[in-house]
Chain A
């Protein structure tokens, strides 16, 4: 794991007291969690909060809702940040990740010649790797994060992550290509040598011939050509993967788990945290999105009210109250279950809003809620 002790993630020199501290101090914030919980919105609001605090902040989103993309001015993919004007003292940038274009940039950067670039771009195995391979989006989100961080143009880079069940996908992502490139069988195939290795090579060749028969010869040829064309670039990729891994594990980076209080997403969030814990990694902040407003009326009181107001003009309101209390019952217990796993993380609650978030002012409102003291 690139030699960085995992404990550097767990222990931070200054323990942030609330989300506002993270926004003010960190250089990288990664919003993670399962899909459908408002990760993109939280990531965007985080960058808005930093811009309000006078920092130069950029948010990299994966797949924003159309009206949010419109509001952020990133409807068109061009893979570089767009600067958004607003009533803040800092700078706000936003971009939507284009995985393929980012991958092409990476290859161009590491290639030794123009010829090599052209060969790689026209190889079908590469096209598959850069567009279809599971994990490519994670990998390219990390690459983009690295690029923006080291460009020196931004104080804070906020990254939205692709929806995934596996918390470690993002950490492991930089190793995606090096893992492929380090494959033993292909190493043998592309560098035939005399002697002992030739026998091994023949055995490997046998497997490959049989594979050709079932998956198709051209598929295998494309793959072999890909590995041959990539020769000489492995070291560059490996170095970059180590560098990125070190950045993610450093004290400059904070991980924010976004969840909703519904029991199924809480279960997913707990699975997520357990996976992180297995790898000695931890999150710095938890954002519970889509919370229903906590009301003081209990379920019993609501039921009594409903019985009393049954025939009055308030009967409808009473039914709404019964449903509301019923739906939010247990929300706080579930939030506590999450926090028991991450006692050092800050907690923010964002209410379920009565309208969709699709303008800067709504994002600013959420930014304010995020930084509020949870107590």
Chain B
């Protein structure tokens, strides 16, 4: 699939997954990949962490919208459109979304007092999902005002990915009347329209995250009607062509005299080789298990042997993302 076509197929990509799977790096690399096809991209962070900007090599500049990347094309003869590509970031937090919304609905003067007296908490408890719904409402507003060609949403982490996406449904079931119900209806319309919105679920190739991802995938398709894009498998150890993965390496396999290696070197070589072999085999089992449980295309991103993600690392991830997208034959989800 042509990456340009891929990133034009929905106006919003919601990147969701449990904590620790690299959701923010995935969002950033997809945003960069889209910018490289000439799209004007807005990354929306929902967790209130401002982690995206540093990945583009830019210091975080608060919660408001700011540009973090502008694509420049050296060879103009290749693609005359891609020079437009850029990435901006902004943050929308659930708490702020509720305060904003109440301020716009006749409570501007007392919203601070409502927060202090605990009434806000009661409102949030009485209508589970209200904050998340209102975040989606703001995203919908951004989408409809066409501030960007593509909005990439870095959804909340932990067990909350599903809660976030199910929020409109939960509110719809609780609030039978009122302005809020209309908000929920509109958010549901947005989520169930694959031209507007698609979810990309992120995991790593380990048992527990994959189990959660599969459960989430079925739940959001069945219950929310949200179309799924490819699954992103992050942190994959690259295989080593020259490494014999068929059998375990033993110290006795290495003749010290002929190779001229010392005992500690041999021991470390054996440890590293066998460890890699075992992890690769575990990883392949998990990838197969994921493919078997969930018949979706996979975007595979490599493990980075570095401690933090900056622009160099982000570009490595982006290359893999683009290559994976090019290898996709068609949408499995639509």
Contacts and interface: CB of A to CB of B under 8 A. Distances in A.
B207 interface: yes
Contact of B175 (A35, A163, A219, A327): A219
A222 B122 CA distance: 11
Contacts of A14: none
B268 A315 contact: no
Contact of A324 (B123, B254, B261, B275): B275
A277 interface: no
A320 B264 contact: no
Given A317-B270, A354-B278, A218 B118 contact: no
Given A163-B19, A324-B275, A316 B240 contact: yes
Contacts of A34: 19-20, 158
Is the contact region of chain B dominated by helix, strand, or loop, or is it mixed?
helix
A264 B119 CA distance: 36
A216 B180 contact: yes
Contact of B117 (A35, A165, A185, A325): A185
A316 B206 contact: no
A213 to B, nearest CB: 6
A94 B122 CA distance: 35
Interface string B164-194: 0000001000111111110000000000000
Nearest to A128: B128
Nearest to B125: A133
A319 interface: yes
Nearest to A327: B305
A291 to B, nearest CB: 12
B309 to A, nearest CB: 9
A316 B278 contact: no
A164 interface: yes
A186 B122 contact: yes
Contacts of B1: none
Contacts of B269: 305, 314, 317-318, 320-321
Contacts of A223: 122, 125-126
A124 interface: yes
Given A216-B175, A297-B268, A327-B305, A354 B273 contact: no
Interface string B272-304: 111111110010000000000000000000010
Contact of B158 (A35, A183, A216): A35
A289 to B, nearest CB: 12
Nearest to A162: B159
Contacts of B327: none
A354 B279 contact: yes
B265 A297 contact: yes
Contacts of A184: 117-118
Nearest to B211: A66
A202 interface: no
B158 A163 contact: yes
B132 to A, nearest CB: 11
A103 interface: no
B283 to A, nearest CB: 11
Given A164-B158, A354-B278, A263 B308 contact: yes
Interface in B1-41: 18-21
Nearest to B101: A214
A210 interface: yes
B121 A179 contact: yes
B207 A356 contact: yes
Contacts of B206: 356
Given A185-B119, A317-B272, A321-B272, A124 B18 contact: no
A37 interface: yes
Nearest to A323: B305
Nearest to A186: B122
Contacts of B307: 262-263, 330
A296 interface: yes
B175 A296 contact: no
A319 B128 contact: no
Contacts of B96: none
Contact of B271 (A186, A262, A264, A293): A293
Interface string A212-241: 111111111011000000000000000000
B259 A219 contact: no
Sorted nearest first, the 5 A-B pairs with minimum C-beta distance are A36-B20, A316-B243, A354-B278, A132-B128, A216-B175
Interface of A: 34-37, 63, 65-67, 124-125, 128-129, 131-133, 162-165, 179-180, 182-186, 207, 210-220, 222-223, 262-265, 292-293, 295-297, 301-302, 305, 309, 312-321, 323-327, 330, 354-356, 358
Interface of B: 18-21, 102, 105-107, 110, 114, 117-119, 121-123, 125-130, 157-159, 163, 170, 174-181, 206-209, 211, 237, 240-244, 249, 254, 259, 261, 264-265, 268-279, 282, 303, 305, 307-308
Given A218-B175, A264-B20, A316-B241, 7 more contacts: A36-B20, A128-B125, A128-B126, A215-B127, A219-B127, A223-B122, A305-B265
5 contacts: A35-B158, A207-B119, A213-B179, A216-B180, A313-B244
